[in-house]
Structures are given as C-alpha cells and as structure tokens.
Structure 1
Amino acid sequence: MKPDVITIEWTAEQGFRVQWRRLAAEQLFIGLAPAQVYPLVPQLFSLCGHAQALAARLALEAAAGFPRPASVEDIDILTLEAVRDTLRKVLLDWSLAFDGTPAPQAQLAQWRDAQTLPAMAALAEERVFGMAPATWLSLGLNGWLDWLGAPHSGVARWLNSLRAAETGCLLLPVLDAANLAQLSATWFDAPLPEWRGMPCEVGALSREAETLAPLLYGGQLARARLLARLLQLARWLNGARLSVETCGCGEGALARVDTARGPLLHYAALDGAGRIAHYRIQPPTAWHCHPHGVIVNTLNARRDAPEAEWRRQVALIDPCIAYEMRLQPRHRFHPG
C-alpha cells in the first residue's frame, strides 16, 4: 500500500475494506519553535492550505498562552478556499465520476479564471444551479426536489440518478468549544478517530442534517450527501462563513477549522523552552477511512452494484487524499 494513498479493496469473501497508511507530516514539527513551523505548513499541505495554516497558527498561539481569534479576513479566505474546492469537485470531479468523461476545457478554464466570490457565484449560477444561488436557496426542500425532477443542470441529473436506499453511520455533531473540551490529548493518538466510541460521517451532511432530515429518514443518504454539498456552496456564496474554534486541551491547545469536507483539528503542546513537544492533525478524511466508517458502510450496502456506482459513491464522500480501488473479479473463468 502506497503511503498517503487510500486503498479500497473488494473481495467476494470479505466485501469492502479501506486502508490508509497516513504519513504524519506534522511529526516534523517536534522540537521546532512555532515560528519555524508556520512557513512549513503550506509546503506540506497543498489541499486546504489556508485552513491548515490557520489551524496551526491558532493551535500554537493558544498552546503558548496567547490565544487569538481568527480575523474576519482569515475566515473570508477560508470560505473562499472552500467555495473554490467545492466548485472544482462539482464541475470537474463529479463530471468524470457520473458522466464518465472529463469536464469540457471551457468549463475548466472558467473555474481557473474564477478567483473571487462574485466570479464564483456567477459560475455556480451558470453551471450548477441554473439560477442565482440565493434564489436556489429560497426554494426549500420541496423546491429542491422539484429541481431534481426537472433538471436544470448536469448536477441535478446526477442527483436524480442516484440509488436511494443505503446504510450510513452516525453523523458527527458540530464540534463547538463545549464538545472540543471533552477531548483529551490521547484522543489524537488513536489510529482513527471516533466520537463516543463510534465512527462518524463528517462535513456538509452533518452540518445540513436538520435541513435534509426527510431524505435521511427515507434512507436517501447519497442524495442527501450531494445535496448537502450544494447547500453549503449556495450558503457560502450567499454570505455564510465557515467557523473556527480554539480551546485548551490537556497540556496544550486544540484548534478546529471547518473545511468543505469537515472539521480539521490541530492539537499542539509546547515544552518548557517553548518548542513543540506534541503535535497531531486530524483531517476529515481520517473519519472516512475507519474500518466501520462511511466508505465501507456505503460500498458494502451496494455489493451488487456496478463498479461505476461504487466509484460515484466514493466521489460523493470525497476523501481529500488520492485513492485506488483494488477489485477482485466477480466472475472467474474455470476451464472445463
């Protein structure tokens, strides 16, 4: 198994298994002063680079005894990063996953050129919603379901094609300061995260669970998962912003920075000389890769589905790390 590549294996005997031998790049920080870490973070983490840098700064400043809130500018940049990442996922990755063909070059060029929120809102209106994001938001659940029934875009067509029934797993509650205070430093040393002993689904679906409750109760988790990403995108383009929390944790401090895929957690503790003694990062994808987490549960509920459906489901869950699928042939030829 390649380091930092998620391996999804399927065999007729065992079903699906997920493995991720994560490279804990943050261990390079041990023994360094915080000022030495800040320039390293964007070099080590290209995806969600601003979120990673912000979480590191907030955690280290709090660990040093000087907690500071994120600035309005920080949160605006964080949200811009999430919008851009979500648009890339919708316009480029899902086009390949659902239609089997790469996105048109013109669409790729539009995404590259959209660098501001107004430009991204115009792109989303044209390519995603078929109307202004604020107008789409105002439709409500019944309106969104009507939108699915009379597709205005490729995204709506994809949503309408998804199979309805599936199993899932517990949705992670919003990790506010009160919830974060329940965590201990040793929680971060576990191979994979759990909340109260259970693997969880994180990200847009957990944040939009109340709005999409009828779909969740009806077993339409795949539709709810994709629709949640669209809801988050529309909300951000309409003025909502991602949230950030910092709190003490054990002998150090913990920062939670929300991203498009879910909460990014950084834990830091300093020694007596002010250098880093302990550092852990828990990305959203760590939750996805739990042996009983959302990837395994979702795919095992579709063991009889075609391979293309499996790949679509993984694309919906959206791990932030490259993945490869190793699939045992379903039917083997036995010469007579």
Structure 2
Amino acid sequence: MSGLDRLAGVLRLRPGAPRPQNLRNDRPDWAGKLTQGKAPAEVPGLLASLYSLCGHAHRLDAQMALQAAQHGDAPVDAAAARTLQHETLCEHVRRICLDWPAALSPAAAPGATRSLQVCPSLRVRDADPGDTRLWLQQHLLAMPPADWLRGWESSPGWWADWSEGSPGWLPALARDARLAADWPVSAAAPLHVHADVASLHQLAASLRDTPSFTRQPRWQDHEAETGSWTRVNDAARPMPATPWQRLGARIAELVRLSLPDESGRSGTGWLAFGARQVGPGEGLAWAEMARGLLVHHVILDEAGRVAAYQVLAPTEWNFHAHGPVATALEQLHPAQGALAQRRIAALVAAYDPCVRFEVEAQPTQEERAHA
C-alpha cells in the first residue's frame, strides 16, 4: 500500500462474496486525532485541507458546528448557501466530465474534456449563471436546462428518452453506460436524519456515545444511503432502482443548481444545510453536498478547545459493509468477466466514494481451507 493510500484509505471490493466479506473500507478517522486540543479558529482550515476533495463542504460544516457549539443556533447564511450551490455544481461537473468517461465510456473523453475546459463556473468563481446555463445547453444537455428539468420531474422515462434521442457526448455516454448500469439493486433507506430536530439530537447522541459510529453508521437499526437522490427537498420522489437512474439523478441535480433560486427546487433553494447546539459546548452541522449528506459533530472543553470531533461522510453510509453497494456486489461475480467489471465501474460511479477503490478476487477453495 502506498503512503497516500495509508493516509486516505482504500475501498476493497470483492464481487460475488457475501456481506460483510465483499467490501472493506479502511479509510482512517483522522478528524478526531488531528483536531484534539485545537482552538476553534484552527479547525475549519485544517479539515478543509485534510478532506481536500470536498474541502468547501468540510469547511462550511466545521464553521457551522463550531459556531453552534460556542454560540448556539444561527440563521442560515445566504452567502454560505451561494457558496455551497456553486461548489457542489462544480464538483458535479468535474465528476461527470472527468470520472464518468474513464469509468463508463472512454469514447466520450474527448468531448468531455473540451466541455470541461470551457465551463464558466470552473473558470470564473462569479460566473454569470446565464453563461453556465448556456454552457449546459450547448455542451451537455442539447436543450435548455429548464426544459430538461421539467422532463425529469414529469416523466419516469425521461432519462432514457433524452439519452436515446439527443446528440452530444453526454447522451452517448448515458446510452453506453445503460448497458452495464441499468440493473436492479436493492436501495437502502434514504438518509434523512436532518429532516427534523428530534432526529438531529438522536444522531448527535449516536456520535457522542458510540466511538465506532462514524466507521459503520446505521440509522434506526438499518443501513441507509445518501446522494443527490436522497435530498430532503425531493423526499416524495421514489428511490432509484438502478445505478443508471442514480447517474441520472446526479445530472438532474447539476441542472437544478444552475437554475434561478426557487425554494425546494433549484438554485440556492435546493441543498439543505444547517447547524444546532445539541448540548452545552456541543454542536452538530450538516450539509447536502455532491456525494450526499456530510455531518460534523464537535464537543468543546471548558477552555473552549476541541475535546472531541467526528466527521460522518457519505462514503461511510454508501460503502457500509452491509450497505447498498455491498448488497449489489453480492449479485456480481468475476466469472461474468467484462460485464461484471463494467457493472462495478457503474456502481462506483453512481455512489461516488471519496477514496480510491480496488477490486479483489474471491479466495480460492484452498485459501478458504487454510483460513
């Protein structure tokens, strides 16, 4: 294992093996160790650097959790909402244009690269929203984003109809990916722990009282999943049935974030975030970001320094040893050859972990006998 892997961790997938032997997540829990005894002002920058892939969301959560622990609940900040919208939009663009061609359809790579190079939101932090919408229309959707979203919201078959009938590298990628990604997987419960105050206090108690909770979280005695398809503002929508539909949900969220603000539907009105003081000197913060729901929990000591800190990331829910990805891996087997490899790639692209993954072969009968 490389030094980087020891620092960041690796997901090890073993398709065809039963749970919990088919998925191992050895991602280290650095937050508590590195923040112990720190002054609150030091923590947001430290965690944003540690979790640099989603640094903006970690900085926001850390700031909110510490603010709540020190001063109590605070109203939602409009500037923070705008930053979360912008950074989440950019993260979706990077994953769709960089990761998806490599994992799902190499033929799409040239078009995706050209699109990425001219994305206004990546080139200019305060890009005109209209420029981003025009970029989406010309480079990804082949139609106005508002029309795309109306189709997505109104018809369960829209994702398939659009990919089959539209020109461009992204619809072509979606068509290619469907061959491997449109297979049924058992969904876990959608993670909505931030939907009400009682659930937030229950989550804080689990983080406070169960040291291993951030490594193998469960909610109300069940595994859960989180992603752009489990937003509290979309709770009435049925859970996706396949990895391919989850990929569609990621594009739908990118579109929503590009549109003007509308509470519960688009712009800064789409992603939920906030913080609460859940005890004396104890704060809990949450933010819906590109990979799912991110939670930070902090307890301060009498001197106002960090006594305990926990980060609960989307990867730990989705790649739980008994969670949705592990359940799907039971259906696959290396003997399926290239199809199994493509299905694994699609599954991982849909759930989008924040660390590298490796696919391992199952132990042979002789190896099992010696174990």
- CA shift digits 1:216-235 (9 cap, x unpaired): 4xxx3223211211121111
Relative to structure 1, the CA distance from residue 288 to residue 230 in structure 2 (aligned partners, 3 Å threshold; closer, same or farther) is: same
The CA deviation at 1:69 is: 2.9
Relative to structure 1, the CA distance from residue 209 to residue 103 in structure 2 (aligned partners, 3 Å threshold; closer, same or farther) is: farther
1:311 aligned to which of 337, 340, 345: 345
1:172 and 2:172 equivalent?
Answer: no
Residues 44, 63 of structure 2: 8 Å contact kept: yes
1:297 and 2:316 equivalent?
Answer: no
Paired amino acid for 2:243: A
Paired amino acid for 2:141: F
Residues 44, 58 of structure 2: 8 Å contact kept: no
Distance 2:16 2:175 in 1: 32
Mapping for residues 183-202 of structure 1, pairs under 5 Å: 183=203, 184=205, 185-187=208-210, 189-190=212-213, 191-202=215-226
1:249 and 2:278 equivalent?
Answer: yes
TM-score by length of 2: 0.79
**Local SS of the residue matching 1:75:** helix
Mapping for residues 70-109 of structure 1, pairs under 5 Å: 70-100=76-106, 103-104=109-110, 105-109=113-117
Residue in 1 aligned with 2:47?
Answer: 41
Distance 1:119 1:188 in 2: 47
Query: Runs in 1 of length 4+ with deviation above 4 angstroms?
Result: 11-15
Relative to structure 1, the CA distance from residue 37 to residue 164 in structure 2 (aligned partners, 3 Å threshold; closer, same or farther) is: closer
The CA deviation at 1:57 is: 0.9
1:223 and 2:241 equivalent?
Answer: no
Residues 31, 276 of structure 1: 8 Å contact kept: yes
* Structure 2 portions without partners, runs of 5+: 261-265, 365-371
TM-score by length of 1: 0.87
Distance 1:67 1:210 in 2: 28
1:279 and 2:279 equivalent?
Answer: no
Residue in 1 aligned with 2:118?
Answer: 110
Same amino acid, percent of matched pairs: 28
Residues 203, 260 of structure 1: 8 Å contact kept: yes
Distance 1:48 1:95 in 2: 21
1:61 and 2:73 equivalent?
Answer: no
**Local SS of the residue matching 1:181:** helix
Residues 298, 310 of structure 2: 8 Å contact kept: yes
The CA deviation at 1:286 is: 1.1
* Structure 1 portions without partners, runs of 5+: 331-336
Distance 1:235 1:299 in 2: 31
Residue in 2 aligned with 1:334?
Answer: none
1:157 aligned to which of 168, 175, 179: 175
Residue in 2 aligned with 1:130?
Answer: 142
Residue in 2 aligned with 1:10?
Answer: 14
